[in-house]
Structures are given as structure tokens and as C-alpha cells.
Amino acid sequence: MREMVWEWDPIGLFQSRHLVEDEYDCIVEHVLPLLRQAASKKDISDFLDRLLPEHFGLNPQPTQAGMFADRIIGWWQQHQSDTSADQATGYP
């Protein structure tokens, strides 16, 4: 998930990534519980729209939070599906 947040790069830090590798970890830490609670795209998108200016103190680039929420929900569903399949077959 961390890589997906960096690909999104909502406040334009990718060029400085090697200096601030953990800068977006707060997004991961807050969004994972939302995913575990089966939050909707709107809930995640609204959360991100609040978090970015409040936490980073910067005006984010056009965030496209809804598109990112779609992507991260799809990733989560696939992750859950893969985990269930592994458990059913006995593979880690």
C-alpha cells in the first residue's frame, strides 16, 4: 500500500522521496483501519480530502482522492481474496 501512496504522491514529494521515505506513512496508518472496516469510497475520499491539508499543512495537488480511494479499495479486496485463497489451500 505504501508504494501505491507514493505513486499517487498527493503533495508532490516524489522527487524528494529518498529524503522523506516515511512522509506518507500517516496515510497508510489511517487508511488501513478504514479498509478493515469496509469504509466506502466516499468515506475514504472524504477522509483523505481532510487529512492532506490538515496533516501536511500544504495545499495538495489536485488530489483525485476518489480515484485513489477506488484504487486502494480494489487493492484491498484483491489482498483479502488472495489471503483467503492462501488460507484455504494452506499456503502462507
pLDDT digits (tens, 9 = 90+) for 69-84: 999 999 999 988 876 6
Q: How far apart are CA 44 and CA 17, in angstroms?
A: 24
User: Phi then psi for 72, rounded to 5 degrees?
Assistant: -70, -35
Per residue in 5-52, pLDDT (tens digit) is 888 888 777 777 666 778 889 999 999 999 999 999 999 999 998 898
Residue 22 contacts residue 6 (beta carbons within 8 Å): no
Euclidean distance between CA atoms 56 and 60, whole angstroms? 9
The pTM is what? Answer: 0.76
- Give, as one character, the DSSP assignment of residue 28: H
- Do 74 and 33 meet the contact criterion of CB atoms below 8 Å apart? no
